Amino acid sequence: MIGIIRYGAGNIFSLTAALERLGIAYGMVNTEADLEQYDRYIIPGVGHAGAAMNKLQHTGLVPAIKALKKPTLGICVGMQLLTSYSEEGNSNLLDIFPIKTLKFAASTDHKVPHTGWNRVYPEKENPLFKNIPAGSHFYFVHSYFIEYNNVHTLAATDYSIKFSASIWQDNFYGVQFHPEKSGLVGETLLTNFSKL
């Protein structure tokens, strides 16, 4: 059963609706004690990474999240929180991944925020992307990106530069796109996560 970590950063309705559609059981994590009820976790998030980190710190959950040993998936800002630092708000984050979240440079060819469908190419074998063809389209909405890193990038995409669409280290995973808004391939990824 998936525990969704609640810390007040963004609307989670589309995520819970997708899990319900897929028949994946979930509940809410509001306190450290709640973590024990679940065998995997999702950290959702939309909006400002610095503000999200501030809200997460106020829950008192930060040490417990960093110590998790069960599969944990950060989505969008939830993925950015797993990195060490974001240029958004000049913010120190969870530092589970020793990589940074950086701002896109706007140009005439590449508007910021990056909004829409982009092809994603897995770079490592991992069950999170099982039955998802390389080059599948996922839905993105973001102004900041996670720097590409050979060690931690699980899947990459390109929008003015190559960046991490997904990261992976031990039991921690992140996706910059919104699987809950990415149709069949997104539902496949959520199902794969529920079986990790």
CA separation for the pair 29, 134 (Å, rounded): 33
Task: DSSP letter for 95, please.
Answer: -
| Structure-block tokens of residue 110 | 């590449």
Annotated catalytic residue: which of 36, 123, 180, 187? 180
Annotated catalytic residue: which of 76, 88, 114, 142? 76
Contact 19, 2 (CB under 8 A): yes
93-108 core/surface letters (b: 16 or more CB in 10 A; e: else)? bbebbebbbbebeeee
CA separation for the pair 183, 196 (Å, rounded): 20
Residue 152 is among the residues annotated as catalytic for this protein = no
Residue 87 is among the residues annotated as catalytic for this protein = no
Residue 178 is among the residues annotated as catalytic for this protein = yes
Residues annotated catalytic, as ranges = 76, 178, 180
